[in-house]
């Protein structure tokens, strides 16, 4: 938790309900321990989509399709989402959820490893939502930049690792050390790459928003 728990509860208490289908899928996902974007990130994405109006969206990390369906409700009418997932157990659930939400025509699910599939894509995408394996973001970065349209926006979720990011490498549990150093490297690159302007926001589990220059 990087933001005080009472603050989060208060902010959540202000939220309006999502569409019926999103409420249902969120409930199912939480009950089966499928990770999905948190309330504050949902709200942030909605506003960002309404401001940016991205027509072509790429999502890395579908899980069961919650965030893709949420984005599809806030993108322009002619918008399209391509979303990537490699975990076989989640793919059929995501497909079924897209069907339930009536979104099969505007969401394309690609099955397989994100890095391999990104290399095959040509884009360009007006918005890329990065929400897969945190230790891989640094490897996805060159492809993400290549795939972004001229004024494209890259949103990277979970970049502050429950606050671990500010701890020294040695204070972090051994099994998390590789991810820790890779995420630090990723944030450094996002902030120092001359092709991007990036803001790192301590919202949810930390989100980085980058605009291609
Ligand atoms: N965006 C979703 C949550 C995604 S959770 C939502 O908010 O609804 C992260 C997902 O990334 C997991 O389902 C995991 O299986 C997937 N993932 C992790 N590494 C991946 C990879 N290398 N290629 C494709 N998907 C990957
Ligand atoms: Mg996430």
- For the entire predicted model, the pTM comes to 0.96
Range with the poorest average pLDDT among 6-10, 39-43, 49-53, 195-199: 6-10
Look at residue 17 and tell me whether its pLDDT is greater than 80.
Answer: yes
Give the chain's mean pLDDT: 95
- Among left, alpha and beta (phi > 0; psi -120 to 50; other), residue 33 is left
Q: What whole-number distance in Å separates Cα of residue 17 and Cα of residue 38?
A: 13
Look at residue 1 and tell me whether its pLDDT is greater than 70.
Answer: no
- The pLDDT score that the predictor gives to residue 165 is 84
Q: What whole-number distance in Å separates Cα of residue 7 and Cα of residue 4?
A: 5
**Domain residue spans of the chain:** 5-212
DSSP 8-state code for residue 167: S
Confidence of residue 29 (pLDDT cuts 50, 70, 90): very high
C-alpha of residue 160 to centroid of ligand 2, in Å: 11
C-alpha of residue 166 to centroid of ligand 2, in Å: 19
Q: How far is CA 125 from its chain centroid?
A: 14
- Please provide the CATH number assigned to the domain covering 5-212: 3.40.50.150
DSSP characters for 72-134?
HHHS-TT-EEEEEE--TTTHHHHHHHHHHTT-TTTEEEEES-HHHHHHH----EEEEEE-S-G
CB 157 within 8 A of CB 129: yes
Q: Break the chain down into helix, strand, coil percent, rounded to 5.
A: 50, 20, 30
Report which bound ligand comes closest to the CA of 137.
1
62, 3, 189, 130 alpha-carbon torsion, rounded to 10°:
10
85 CB within 6 A, ligand 1: yes
Count of CB atoms situated within 10 Å of the CB of 56: 19
C-alpha of residue 191 to centroid of ligand 1, in Å: 24
C-alpha of residue 66 to centroid of ligand 2, in Å: 11
34 CB within 6 A, ligand 1: no
The string of pLDDT tens digits covering residues 82-138 is 999 999 999 999 999 999 999 999 999 999 999 999 999 999 999 999 999 999 999
Q: Which of 83, 62, 70 is nearest to 44 (CA)?
A: 70
């Amino acid at each position: 938790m990087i933001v005080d728990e009472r603050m989060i509860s208060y902010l959540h208490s202000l939220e309006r309900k999502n569409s019926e289908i999103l409420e249902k899928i969120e409930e199912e996902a939480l009950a089966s321990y499928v990770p999905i974007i948190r309330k504050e990130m949902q709200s942030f994405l909605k506003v960002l989509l309404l401001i940016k109006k991205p027509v072509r969206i790429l999502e890395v990390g579908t899980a069961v399709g919650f965030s893709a369906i949420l984005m599809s409700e806030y993108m322009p009418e002619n918008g399209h989402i391509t979303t990537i997932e490699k975990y076989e157990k989640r793919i059929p659930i995501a497909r079924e959820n897209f069907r339930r939400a009536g979104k099969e025509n505007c969401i394309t699910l690609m099955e397989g490893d994100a890095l391999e599939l990104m290399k095959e894509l040509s884009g360009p995408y007006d918005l890329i939502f990065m929400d897969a394996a945190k230790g891989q973001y640094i490897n996805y970065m060159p492809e993400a930049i290549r795939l972004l349209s001229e004024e494209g926006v890259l949103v990277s979720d979970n970049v502050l690792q429950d606050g671990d990011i500010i701890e020294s490498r040695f204070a972090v549990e051994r099994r998390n050390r590789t991810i820790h150093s890779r995420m630090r490297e990723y944030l450094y690159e996002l902030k120092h790459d001359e092709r991007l302007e990036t803001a790192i926001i301590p919202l949810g589990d930390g989100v980085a928003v980058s605009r291609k220059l």
